[in-house]
Amino acid sequence: MPRYANVTPLPTQTVTLLASKNPKRPGTAAHARFAKYRNGATVAACIKAGILVADLKWDLAHGFIKLAGTGQPSNPAKPAKAASKPAPAAPAAAAPAPAAPTVAKA
């Protein structure tokens, strides 16, 4: 799985360009979309301008942009391990079955 698959850009986060020039190959659709980034624009504004979520994820993972703002981390490191679960309780000992009534013979 690509390392950028875990990235979750949030609509309210702002984009900061880290690349001094467009790193995409000139003449490609990716180059044209990268040119639409604006410093300080929100993720929602970038998407409205035509930048794909996949572009945001790729560019973030490759250090071309960074995201800032409220919400969860945009590029979390490895997810935190959940606290280990307590061992399941041993099953309760079954109560002995009541003895069958005895019938006295006359």
pLDDT confidence tier of residue 9, bands split at 50, 70 and 90: confident
- 98 in any annotated domain: no
Is residue 79 one of the residues assigned to a domain?
Answer: no
Indicate whether 102 belongs to any domain.
no
Residue 86 lies in a domain: no
Identify the residue with better confidence: 79 or 84: 84
Q: Give long-range contacts, CB 8 A cutoff, 24+ apart: 41-45.
A: 41/14, 41/15, 42/11, 42/12, 42/13, 42/14, 42/15, 42/69, 43/9, 43/10, 43/11, 43/12, 43/13, 43/14, 43/15, 43/67, 44/11, 44/12
Mean pLDDT, rounded, of the chain = 79
Number of domains in the chain: 1
Residue 87 counted as domain residue: no
User: What is the reported pLDDT for 74?
Assistant: 45
**pLDDT at position 34 over 80:** yes
- Tell me the residue range of the domain where 52 lies: 3-68
Please give the residue that has the higher pLDDT: either 82 or 25: 25
Q: Residue 11's pLDDT is what?
A: 87
Is 48 part of a structural domain of the chain?
A: yes
